[in-house]
Amino acid sequence: MVVLACALVGLGDLAGRVWHPPPMAAFIISTAAWTAAGTWATFLVLALTLYFVYRQVAEATTLRREQTRPYVVVSIDVEQRQLFMLTIENVGSTPAFDVVVEFDKPLRSSMTNFEPVRMLQEPNPMLPPGRKFRAFWETSFEVFKDDYSHPLSYRSTVKYKDQQGRRYGPETYILDFRTYEGLASGPKGINELVNSIEKLHKVHTKWTSGIRGLLVHNVDVIKKNHREDRPHHLAQIKSAYRENGWKAAADYWVNALRRRYGLWSR
């Protein structure tokens, strides 16, 4: 028994030398580190979430601003198939304020003097949405002559503000007459519309319900004539009934209907 007890004591001492359990402080430090790491991870996820939310709100705000901003455009319009018009238009959805239009060189024309054009000389206080300013510039048969002495291309810059005072520009537009060389005729303008209306008016004046021109009865006139003739027909039916009976009254009514619908000619 003494030998067994000694053997057990020896084994216990050997095991104690081989395996040294970590102190409790090591477990405490490790747990605190994991807690700190979890806290930082949560903070990082929250920061990323806030960043993406901010980006989405910023993009939505930018899109909304672009949709509701003014947009002033300088261009060349073709009118009446051969006239070149200098056009300044606000194609945006809100007014533009303090609109300044500048060119890289003075505008030249063989038919128009641009110096008195006030909008080209000083800022325009306000340009409503959809408003268009136009000035006659040139004609196609003058521009595309071989001896045309004025520039064919201009660079225009536009600066303006919106209702909140945000500034836009300088926005650049290239106005080049050569873009329209060799192209098909442009859309019809106001003069063509006026001419078409005048022709339609002349044709319409030939339609009449009188004794001149093409005889035309509209529905209201026909109904009016029927209402005016009704008492006369009733009197004739009563007279035919008194003189010759029901048969004569029925014959008169049938004949009146035939004349009314073109089935009977007098």
Q: Is the peptide bond before 170 cis (omega within 30 degrees of 0)?
A: yes
Query: What's the pLDDT tens digit per position in 194-214?
Result: 777 888 777 766 665 555 555
Helix/strand/coil for 210:
coil
Token pair belonging to 229 = 């003739």
Q: State the pLDDT at residue 7.
A: 45
Q: State the pLDDT at residue 189.
A: 58
Close Cβ partners of 107 (under 8 Å, ≥ 6 residues apart): 86, 114, 120, 137, 154
Q: State the pLDDT at residue 222.
A: 66
Give the predicted TM-score (pTM) of the model.
0.51
Distance in angstroms (rounded) separating the CA atoms of residues 134 and 254: 68
Q: How far apart are the first and last CA of the chain?
A: 156
Q: State the pLDDT at residue 74.
A: 95
CA 137 to chain centre: 27
Q: What is the mean pLDDT of each run of 10 residues along the chain (266 residues)?
A: 45 48 53 79 87 85 80 90 90 94 92 85 92 90 88 95 91 93 61 74 66 57 70 77 79 75 55
Distance in angstroms (rounded) separating the CA atoms of residues 119 and 136: 14
Nearest alpha carbon to residue 175 among 87, 81, 109, 92: 87
Close Cβ partners of 70 (under 8 Å, ≥ 6 residues apart): 90, 92, 93, 94, 95, 96, 127, 129, 160, 162, 168
Give all strands (DSSP E) within the chain, no chain letters: 72-79, 83-90, 96-103, 124-127, 132-139, 153-161, 167-176, 207-208, 214-215
Strand bridging mode 124-127 / 167-176: unpaired
Token pair belonging to 251 = 């014959």
Close Cβ partners of 259 (under 8 Å, ≥ 6 residues apart): 265, 266
Q: State the pLDDT at residue 170.
A: 92
Measured CA to CA in angstroms, residue 63 lies from 60, 91, 145, 158 at distances of 5, 17, 46, 22
Q: State the pLDDT at residue 140.
A: 86
Is the CATH number 3.40.720 carried by domain 72-185?
A: no
Handedness of CA 253, 254, 260, 266 (dihedral sign): negative
What region does 76 belong to: left with phi over 0, alpha with psi -120 to 50, or beta?
beta
